Chains A and B, each alone.
Chain A
Amino acid sequence: MADIPISHILFVSTALFFIGMYGLFTRRNMITVLMSIEIILNSVNINFVVFNKYLYPDRLDGIFFTIFIITIAAAEAAVAIAIIINLYRSHRSIDVESAEEMKY
């Protein structure tokens, strides 16, 4: 385990982050957008865990944060899906562009 260099893991998390980012920017379907956000969050989680492990092995702050983020992500997903369902009810679509008029 110890012989996996930190750079590898960071590479994975960066890749995940940008994949999520790409999805966030380009996807039209709100569910996919939501999934992209989850991916971003998970890449952050990986970062937290990795830095905790490699830099401060004797402390647990990073891991706590991870758990915290997972919890919030769950709540957030619930809220987001509620919004999406409502949007679907009113617009018969879960395309992000159909939510455009909310700027008014």
Chain B
Amino acid sequence: MNYSSYIALIPLLPLAGFILLGIFGRKYFKSSSGIIGTGLLLVSTVLSLYTAYKYFFVDGKAGDTYQTITALKFTWLSFSENVSIDMGIILDPISVMMLVVVTFVSLMVHVFSLGYMKGEERFATYYAFLSLFTFSMLGLVVSSNLFQVYIFWELVGVSSYLLIGYYYDKPSAVAASKKAFVVTRFADLGFLIGILILAFYGKSLDIKTLMENLQSSELAAISAASFVGISALTWGLTLIFIGGAGKSAMFPLHIWLPDAMEGPTPVSALIHAATMVVAGVYLVARLFPLFALTHAALSIVTFVGIVSAFLAAIIACTQTDIKRVLAYSTMSQIGYMMFALGISGYGGESGLGYTASMFHLFTHAFFKSLLFLGAGVVIHFIHSNEIKDMGGLRKYLPITNLSFLIACFAIAGIPPFAGFFSKEEILLASYHSNKMVFAVALLTSGLTAFYMFRLYFSIFWNKNTVVNSHHGEGPVSMKLPLVILAFCSIFAGLIPFGEFVSSDGKALDSHFDPLFSIAPVLFGVVGILLAMWMYKKESNKPKQISNSLGGLYKVAYKKFYIDEIYVFITKKIIFNLIGRPAAWIDKNIVDGLMNGIANTTAAVSNWIKGVQSGKVQSYAIYFFGGIVALAIVFLYLWK
């Protein structure tokens, strides 16, 4: 089968689901909407798996290189001869990989939600939004045009907004959705301006043409053009990276992600763990040949990535809301992916970081969505997000316990679970290019193991909670995704990823080196043991330790006061120093000017009006006075 004959169906089927459920769902498919949405997505998933098979094993390779196939393309809106927004679908290793990840995780979440969201008032709306999200995300990953990326980027953002605000009558959910949208919108401003810069110099919006133009003929022009001493290329890429950092919750634009946990838990699993938040990583990877041209932009990527990874890991150790812990852990893992890209070179052996980053993205999608879905089961069971309400749940939720444990091992990087292989590659790549980054990354990996097992032991071991819940782990629809994802979390790492995905399309040999892995695994094991010592049994050790850390613990618990800084900037500075004066000026000065003109006119006419008093006799006096005056003028003065 030719790609173009069916490929468009992959994103369009979820879109059809959105339209169908969005318009008619409430009335006609109140209970069947979940099945409809899941069914359509199942077809998409099968199609994308088929595409992946076909691309990677049948006809994706030209010689020894995976080529980029444009499966579909039409002009959507043309600006000038070369510059136009095209809607297209391209297939290359990363887009095909993302197709599989997105459809697969989305399918799992759809299935899980069948049980989790059952009986919700707006069940159909929920599935409509999920379908919209899936459509946008799929459109994003297959984009052939930079502006197409932006379009779907925004659509992804709005579906995230809608889903975070799904419980619309909860003020905290509304605030979180608003925050998520505004923060990412702010970042998207950078993205937009970056696009404008690149399109201007690259003379195209088509990613392929743009890269060719910029790498060859226009490179001199874009490197020469500078603003504040920084070349236009660096500006453009940095601004685009800001867009990516916003979506991927990188420091300092990460503040929306923890709050976004107000959405339903399956949504967090899909959007805020596995798919949307890695869009920024994907964007950098998509434009990687351009990033490779400028060292400055890549250094920013590295720096932001490693800072986010480390910072988030510290914060995650102190949080008490299980979803927030997971959110910070997501941020930390995405930081890994980001700096892996930042330290990578283009092509050949130096491209190891790129491959590692994509590999980690791939494995992370499975174990992180598994963690969230597991957390979903726990929340469903206990009706609380707080760690203090939990403990000893392993007896009630055996499947969840096991799958959660697997995911924790995966994220902690314990062999032979999936996360081990991908994290290993990232550490190896950083070891070769930047020792400083490597050191921080190693430390972070220890922290990761600690906070994940802190979570695990607190939920499933520790004190025994008295549970009077009558339902167990929930229906099959909730258990099945856990099992499947657990399976993936164990085995996904065994895929020889470098064979398929690399910066230049050529196969990259696996760099697995048992000797090198000793240090990271050791760090992981230490983290786990520490967590076990502190949290397996109920004790006051955690309390003592946090007390002994004092201010440091408090700062981390308060998330380094970054939220407070933002609140200060927005509420105090933007609202008070810009918004209010603007409104005041408009009301009093600009409008005052207009009213002033009107009032002056009115005053003058009022003054003239006084002459017309309505007193007949004074009119008569004016009249005769006038005659007398005229008489005098004509008789005596007019000579």
A residues whose Cβ falls under 8 Å from a Cβ of B: 21, 24-26, 33, 96-97, 99-104
Q: Are B614 and A24 in contact (CB under 8 A)?
A: no
Chain B residues with Cβ below 8 Å from A101 are: 614
In the complex the two chains form, what is the Cα distance from A26 to B620 in whole Å? 11
Q: Are A103 and B617 neighbours in the complex by a CB distance under 8 Å?
A: no
Docked-complex contact A21 and B624, CB < 8 angstroms: yes
Contacts of B614 in A (CB 8 A): 99-104
The docked-state distance in angstroms from the alpha carbon of A47 to that of B429 is 125
Interface flag for B606 (CB, 8 Å)? no
Q: What are 24 pairs between A and B in contact, CB < 8 Å? A: A21-B624, A24-B617, A24-B620, A25-B617, A25-B620, A25-B621, A26-B617, A33-B616, A33-B617, A96-B615, A96-B616, A96-B617, A97-B615, A99-B614, A99-B616, A100-B613, A100-B614, A100-B615, A101-B614, A102-B614, A103-B612, A103-B613, A103-B614, A104-B614
A104 to chain B: which residues have CB within 8 Å? 614
A104 to B612, CA, bound (A): 10
Query: Which residue of chain A has its CB nearest to the CB of B621?
Result: A25
In the complex, A25 Cα to B621 Cα: how many Å? 7
A103 and B615 alpha carbons, distance in the complex (Å): 9
- B interface residues with partner A (beta carbon < 8 Å): 612-617, 620-621, 624
Chain A residues with CB under 8 Å of B617's CB are 24-26, 33, 96
Residues of B near A102 (CB, < 8 A) are 614
Query: A97 CA to B621 CA in the complex, in Å?
Result: 15
Interface class of chain B by DSSP = helix
Q: Supply 9 further A-B pairs (C-beta < 8 A) apart from A96-B616, A99-B614, A100-B615.
A: A25-B621, A26-B617, A33-B616, A33-B617, A96-B615, A97-B615, A101-B614, A102-B614, A103-B612
Which residue on chain A has the smallest CB distance to residue B616?
A96
CA distance A18 to B624 in the complex (A): 11
Expressed in whole angstroms, the minimum distance between the Cβ of A46 and any Cβ of chain B is 19
B122 to chain A, nearest CB (A): 62
Instruction: Enumerate chain B residues within 8 angstroms of A25, measured Cβ to Cβ.
Output: 617, 620-621
A97 to B616, alpha carbons, bound, how many Å?
8
Q: How far is the CA of A92 from the CA of B332 in the complex (A)?
A: 93
Chain B's nearest CB lies how many Å from the CB of A17? 11
List of B residues within 8 angstroms of A33 by Cβ? 616-617
User: A residues within 8 A CB of B612?
Assistant: 103
Q: How far is the CA of A104 from the CA of B613 in the complex (A)?
A: 10
Complex Cα distance A101/B621, Å? 19
Q: Which residue of A lies closest to B615 (CB)?
A: A100
Q: Please indicate the chain A residues that have their CB under 8 angstroms from the CB of B624 in the complex.
A: 21
A25 to B620, CA, bound (A): 7
Q: Using Cβ atoms and an 8 Å threshold, which residues of chain B touch A100?
A: 613-615
Q: 8 closest A-B pairs (Cβ-Cβ)?
A: A103-B614, A100-B614, A25-B617, A96-B616, A25-B621, A24-B620, A103-B612, A96-B617
Nearest Cβ distance between residue B494 and chain A, in whole angstroms?
96
CB distance from B616 to the nearest CB of A (A): 6
Quote the shortest CB–CB distance from A39 to chain B (angstroms): 14
Distance between Cα atoms of A24 and B617 in the complex (Å): 7
Q: Which residue of A lies closest to B617 (CB)?
A: A25
Residue in A closest to B612 when the chains form the complex, CB atoms:
A103
- Chain A residues lying within 8 Å of B613, measured Cβ to Cβ, are 100, 103
* Complex alpha-carbon distance, A103 and B613, angstroms: 7
In chain B, what residue has the closest Cβ to A27? B617
In the bound complex, CA of A26 to CA of B617 (Å): 8
Query: Which of A99, A100, A102, A103: most chain B CB closer than 10 A?
Result: A103
Q: Which residues of B contact A24 (CB under 8 A)?
A: 617, 620
Bound together, the chains give a CA A87 to CA B483 distance in angstroms of 100
CA distance A14 to B621 in the complex (A): 17
Rounded to whole Å, the gap between the CB of A30 and the closest CB of chain B is: 9
Cβ contacts under 8 Å, A97 to chain B: 615
Give the complex CA separation of A24 and B615 in angstroms.
12
User: Could you tell me the distance between the alpha carbons of A33 and B618 in the complex, rounded to whole angstroms?
Assistant: 13
Report the Cα distance A100→B174, complex, angstroms: 64
**C-alpha gap A99/B616 in the complex (Å):** 8
Nearest CB to that of A37 among chain B residues? B620
**Complex CA distance for A103 and B621, rounded to whole angstroms:** 17
Kindly provide the distance from the CB of A44 to the nearest chain B CB, expressed in whole angstroms: 14
Complex: how many Å from CA A33 to CA B620? Answer: 11
Q: How far is the CA of A97 from the CA of B624 in the complex (A)?
A: 20
Which residues on A sit within 8 Å (CB–CB) of B620? 24-25
> A66 vs B431: C-alpha distance in the bound complex, in angstroms?
127
| Cβ distance B281 to chain A, nearest Cβ, rounded Å | 77
> Nearest Cβ in chain A — how far from B191, in angstroms?
64
Expressed in whole angstroms, the minimum distance between the Cβ of B527 and any Cβ of chain A is: 90
Complex Cα distance, B512 from A68, in Å, reads 130
Find the B residue at minimum CB distance from A26.
B617
